[in-house]
Amino acid sequence: YALNLMDDYKFKREFVKALAEPDTTRLVNLLKEAQHHLLSWDAFQAYQAIDPGNARLRALWQDSVETGNWQLLWMPPSLPYYQSNGPFSDVQPEGCTKTLVFSAWKLVPKTIAVLLSYEAERRMLEEKGRDFAYAELTDKRKPLLTFTRSKGRLTGMPVFCLIYPCLTLAQAIDPLTIARDLNETAPSCQTVFEIAKAKIRELLGEAETQVSTKESTRTDERWYWAAIALLDRHFHRQDVDCWVSMEDEPLAWGKMLDKASMDGAGKEEEGEARRFTEHVMEFRDFFQNLGQEPQDTSNLPAVQLRFEGMLQNVEREPLGKQPEDLLDVLTYIALSSPAVASLRALLRITQPESREQWPAFLAASARVGLAFRTLFNQPDVIILVQRFYPRGPYWEKVLHYCFDGNLQAVMDEYIHVLHESLGLVEHDPSETAHKLSETVGRALSLRAPTLRFDEIVSQGKGHLTMEKRGVRCRYALRFGDERSADYEGRTRDVDVRIAFNSPFRPFVLATTSIGQEGLDFHQYCHRVVHWNLPSNPVDLEQREGRVHRYKGHVIRRNLALNYGLAALKMDKASTDPWRWLFDQAVEDRPQGVNDLVPFWIYEGDEKGPQVFRIERKVPVLPLSREIGRMERLRRSLVAYRSVIGQPRQQELLEFLSAHLSEDEIEELVESVAIDLSPPKG
């Protein structure tokens, strides 16, 4: 599909010139014979399967979408707290790390991003009776996690089950503690669920005594969100009230959607931001007054006074009959609500030093909850979630997806990684919480770029034209070709790097340019694909060095594999499990081993299970020149590592290779190497 996807190649420019000729009959005939090498927009519109069309791309296909990870919105955790379920239980091991692709050809990153992203979306949207074309997706599938008003009622309140950071549930229930106490390698999700449910039954029984209810045979669905407000009102009233009462940015809950909408929002976004504020006020009113009129409204802001006036027209009734599945829903909220999981993850790595700092932690977790709302409002994600969870309201399906995906373990691992990579270890707890939530939000809210290809269209009578067609790219992205800034003035490359260094999509990143820029892509990736081999070992080492870094994905997976849940012996339930695992690996390493182990190198116990490794993929054709080149590069790597820091490294390498054998080079390296590790004893 090179003719469709290439941009600034001389061949393409000559082709465009040929299209402008008066007679293109010969060109038309040639293209008719090459239809299988051209992309058809009709195939995209009908969501038809498109052949990779290239042996290298087919190999990449096998390690990505063919593994089943198109079903996932985030990489599985290295240390799951219970057995994964649903879509997360059907992914091949090869699909559990991200892939970084290097190519010398500018055409390749765009091709990978377009074709892999389309194929992932096509599989996500496979369903019977699909009634829309590719270009109609965003028009036919509107967001479902919205803040709406109907007949005087606020109908988006159940969304708070996803976006409200319930402090009671975050502190009283912990899937890590439950799983560790079970003393099993990987307990079943149902076992963890039932233990948490029993604890929540006790908590709710104590908290619900403070609210009046009415006798009714009709189920009152307000209980789903009212219950989490009741729990925090009973167990953490002062800490939470301090936050929900805030009116000023940046911590004001009701204004977060205004900020999330960013500049240039349309009327629809502005309207939803206003309705979100109304929903927050409804939640706050229930939390503070249990749904009864405030005694004094003289000091309320004007916007709240208007809202209180609206509420006077709505009959405020006591809560009615509890839904039969209330305890189940609360258990899902406790174990997998994005906001609750984020709050629990933050509290593992840092704690408020005073009551005044609690609003910063709650606000940070709420921001992450809203970012997850953005993710689950994407049209392809909506169809995916509904496909696996056909029954119940959408917000409840999202909770099930998050639970099956071990979201708490995912967030614990991600927050641990960010805490150090952002340099926040010595920072104030409030500032730490804010910066962590900001980065997580940027990773989750990455706007999918639309990459365009040229469809070659016959106009009849021997005439051809080219039509620009756009393809949404989320699963795979290219890096290094975006020169324009986005709506906040940040370059798109910065946001792409943040997203790739997170557990969330994209899962494949293709580039021609980052090998020499010193950027790290190791946090969730330990597979490097060399589409083309570099010409020298310096570039090869630079490429693979992008994923061979401090506390990389491969290191964490090996730690989890070697120790597992059963080995965790933390003193407190809130202790960061990843800090404990690394501390334990330091304690267990053999005497005399330097500090590269376990932070840069870790392969576990030699007698233990088979470990994960940095994967080097070189898709070479049989009998090609690259087979011999790969061998030469491997041999040169040893010598290259001995000349790091020397001027004119390439010339020195060539001199050594020309005058010494491979064994002699290894002897030379050993004789001139300087050991800078601390003296033993």
User: Considering the domain boundaries, does residue 668 fall inside one?
Assistant: yes
User: Considering the domain boundaries, does residue 464 fall inside one?
Assistant: no
Across 96-169, where does the E strand assignment appear? 98-102, 149-150, 153-154
Across 328-486, where does the E strand assignment appear? 450-460, 463-472, 476-479
Q: What's the mean per-residue pLDDT of the chain?
A: 88
User: Considering the domain boundaries, does residue 627 fall inside one?
Assistant: yes
Q: Are 223 and 214 in contact (CB under 8 A)?
A: no
- Overall residue count recorded for the chain in this entry: 681
For residue range 563-573, what is the model confidence (pLDDT) as tens digits? 998 888 766 54
Q: Report the alpha-carbon distance of residue 448 to residue 475 in Å, rounded.
A: 9
Q: Are 345 and 418 in contact (CB under 8 A)?
A: no
Entry pTM: 0.91
Which residue segment(s) compose the domain that 640 sits in? 620-672
404, with CB counted inside 10 A (0-12, 13-18, 19+), is buried
User: Considering the domain boundaries, does residue 624 fall inside one?
Assistant: yes
**Integer angstrom CA distances of residue 183 from 42, 78, 328, 565, 578:** 55, 18, 24, 7, 18
What would the mean pLDDT of 47-59 be, rounded to a whole number? 95
611, with CB counted inside 10 A (0-12, 13-18, 19+), is middle
Number of separate domains in the chain: 1
User: Considering the domain boundaries, does residue 185 fall inside one?
Assistant: no
User: Considering the domain boundaries, does residue 644 fall inside one?
Assistant: yes
* Structure tokens given for 516: 């020499």
For residue range 221-236, what is the model confidence (pLDDT) as tens digits? 999 999 999 999 999 9
Q: What is the dihedral of CA 609, 615, 619, 625, to 10 degrees?
A: -110
- Roughly how many angstroms between the first and final C-alpha of the chain, as a whole number? 63
User: Considering the domain boundaries, does residue 153 fall inside one?
Assistant: no
| Of 116-120, 461-465, 544-548, the least confident | 461-465
29 vs 41 pLDDT, higher one: 41
- What is the DSSP pairing of strand 153-154 with strand 149-150? antiparallel
Q: What is the pLDDT of residue 573?
A: 44
What would the mean pLDDT of 617-646 be, rounded to a whole number? 80
Q: Are 311 and 279 in contact (CB under 8 A)?
A: no
Q: Report the alpha-carbon distance of residue 162 to residue 394 in Å, rounded.
A: 11
User: Considering the domain boundaries, does residue 596 fall inside one?
Assistant: no
pLDDT greater than 70 at residue 263: no
